[in-house]
Structure 1
Amino acid sequence: MKNLADIMKQAQQLQGRMEAMQAELDAAEIEGRAGGGLVAVVMSGKGAVKKVSIDPSLMKEDEREILEDLIVAAAADAKHKAEVLAAEKMKSVAGGLPIPPGFGL
């Protein structure tokens, strides 16, 4: 029974670290850029867009489509960075615990 108690204790510790990691990701601000920095999108580590910055030089009616594409590209850049951050945090949270291969958290 001692082994089961150890497993339960490890599971509780993992749950606590997961909750802390989720809070950290929610508070993180990741910036994605596009168009040489003319458009920037800031999002949380969980992927929620928090801010969009657009250089005034792009505020022309005939360049609207370019601006829309740059916003999408900047958001994709920030999302990729957020996913990398989340993967790094997950790796540090699960480190040291005997998690079966192929078991994704």
Structure 2
Amino acid sequence: MRDIMGMMGKFQEMQAKMGEMQEELQRAEVSGTSGGDLVTVTLTGKGDMRGVKIDPSLIADGDAEIIEDLIIAAHADARAKAESMMNEKMQEMAAGLPLPPGMKLPF
């Protein structure tokens, strides 16, 4: 019975940490780039877009299709970084929990 109470305490602690982590991810920002840094997209850790920067030389060329492709590529780069950051935070949080091998968070 004592082990179950200890485990319940750990899970309550983990739940509080998850709430804190969610808030931290919303405040965190990651940037992805493409085209040799000609396009930069900034996202929150949860994937919400915060900004797009386009080098003026791209606009001067007037090739909208290239700009569109570079924005998509920069967004994908930023999204991958945000997901990586979230996975690292989850691993840190789960480090002290007695989870079975192969079980991942969130459940």
Worse-superposed segment, 91-100 or 64-73:
91-100
| TM norm structure 2 | 0.92
The corresponding residue for 2:20 is 20
The corresponding residue for 1:68 is 68
Q: Following the alignment from structure 1 to structure 2, what is the Cα–Cα distance between the partners of residues 17 and 62? A: 48
- Alignment map for 1:51-90 (pairs within 5 Å): 51-60=51-60, 62-90=62-90
1:88 CA displacement: 0.6
Identity %: 49
1:62 CA displacement: 4.1
Q: What's the CA shift string for 1:18-63, capped at 9, x where partnerless? A: 1111111111100000111110000011111110011111114741
Number of residues of Structure 1 aligned to a counterpart in Structure 2? 105
| Unmatched 5+ stretches in structure 2 | none
Cα RMSD of the aligned pairs, angstroms, is: 1.2
The corresponding residue for 1:3 is 3
1:102 CA displacement: 2.5
SS at match of 1:41: strand
SS at match of 1:37: coil
| Unmatched 5+ stretches in structure 1 | none
SS at match of 2:51: strand
